């Protein structure tokens, strides 16, 4: 266990609890679902490593800390650009060399670069009695960022900041398009189909992974060129989904209701499931 990391993490969580809760990535419930799916698919070695790296107060529950990376943005402002990728308006494609940079143009500072970085850090697990990196934080960042990169609007257009400047109404509630994909679609699905709960939602996604999606799952888990993580694939999928589904038919001040919800929910469900499967596959490759 990364004992030295436990106290700082606990203090950061206590400080974060005193602040207004941010809504980023998939939102709390989305990240929770990605991590619950992943933890149920870990190999024995990966499960043992995750248990070893998680702080004791997490109770071996990775999903309880899957939103940690959002909670600590105030403490680690350098981490904010690591949650997303801005792509050129209207191109609907992604290139690491072109797009993975922060607002100052620093290369590698995007969610794909962060996934590569924290994967590299975690590959040092067990190789030294004095770790070079804080591997507890690396695990939490990686788990969160693999969730983020599967949210289509985390790989969105530069001018609207991934839908953050597109004002819409979700039914009668004013929000922004990015938040619709972070949280509103998931929350509406919970309210309509799952009794406002996450457990049954996760159960449905898990059954789909072993059922109707089972033939696709091996391709989700694959990583080309003997790579440990494949964020460029996930980012390319997300910008395609953003163009085909998130942005499509939406203008400034659009009202999004049943037609939008019913056609976009399957996309959200697929991306949540893919995120969970791929997080598990990545951790299994890292830890053996």
- Residue 170's DSSP bridge partners are 173, 256
Q: pLDDT tens, 257-286?
A: 999 999 999 999 999 999 999 999 999 999
Q: Which of 252, 271, 247 is nearest to 25 (CA)?
A: 271
Residues 6 or more apart in contact with residue 267 via CB below 8 angstroms: 152, 241, 245
| Residue 164 scores a pLDDT above 80 | yes
Measure the CA–CA gap between 81 and 90, rounded to whole angstroms: 21
Measure the CA–CA gap between 161 and 157, rounded to whole angstroms: 6
pTM for the model: 0.91
Burial degree of 187 (CB within 10 A; 0-12, 13-18, 19+): middle
Measure the CA–CA gap between 153 and 240, rounded to whole angstroms: 10
Measure the CA–CA gap between 211 and 209, rounded to whole angstroms: 6
Secondary structure E strands in 14-101: 85-87
Residue 166 pLDDT grade (very low, low, confident, very high; cuts 50, 70, 90) = very high
Q: What is the pLDDT of residue 197?
A: 78
Measure the CA–CA gap between 245 and 262, rounded to whole angstroms: 11
Q: Tell me the average pLDDT of the chain.
A: 92
Q: What is the pLDDT of residue 99?
A: 98
**CATH architecture under which domain 23-287 falls:** Orthogonal Bundle (1.10)
Q: pLDDT tens, 201-241?
A: 999 999 999 999 999 999 999 998 789 999 999 999 999 99
Question: Is the model more confident about 25 or about 99?
Answer: 99
Structure-derived torsion over alpha carbons of residues 256, 275, 118, 25, reported in degrees to the nearest 10: 20
Domain parsing of the chain, residue ranges = 23-287
């Amino acid at each position: 266990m990364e004992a030295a990391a436990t106290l700082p993490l606990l203090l950061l969580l206590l400080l974060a609890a005193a602040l207004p809760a941010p809504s980023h990535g998939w939102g709390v419930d989305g990240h929770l679902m990605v991590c619950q799916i992943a933890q149920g698919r870990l190999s024995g070695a990966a499960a043992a490593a995750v248990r070893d790296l998680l702080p004791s107060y997490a109770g071996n529950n990775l999903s309880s800390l899957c939103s940690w990376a959002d909670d600590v943005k105030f403490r680690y402002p350098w981490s904010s650009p690591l949650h997303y990728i801005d792509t050129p308006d209207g191109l609907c494609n992604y290139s690491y060399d072109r797009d993975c940079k922060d607002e100052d143009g620093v290369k590698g500072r995007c969610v794909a670069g962060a996934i590569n970085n924290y994967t590299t850090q975690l590959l040092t697990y067990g190789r030294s009695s004095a770790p070079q990196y804080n591997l507890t934080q690396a695990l939490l960042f990686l788990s969160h960022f693999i969730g983020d990169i599967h949210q289509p609007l985390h790989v969105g257009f530069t001018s609207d900041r991934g839908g953050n400047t597109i004002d819409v109404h979700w039914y009668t509630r004013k929000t922004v398009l990015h938040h619709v994909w972070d949280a509103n679609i998931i929350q509406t699905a919970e309210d309509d189909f799952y009794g406002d709960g996450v457990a049954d939602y996760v159960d449905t996604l898990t059954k789909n992974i072993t059922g109707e999606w089972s033939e696709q799952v091996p391709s989700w888990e694959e990583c080309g060129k003997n790579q440990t993580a494949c964020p460029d694939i996930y980012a390319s999928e997300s910008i395609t989904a953003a163009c085909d589904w998130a942005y499509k038919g939406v203008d400034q001040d659009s009202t999004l209701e049943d037609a939008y919800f019913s056609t976009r929910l399957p996309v959200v469900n697929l991306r949540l499931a893919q995120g969970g499967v791929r997080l598990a596959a990545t951790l299994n490759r890292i830890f053996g």
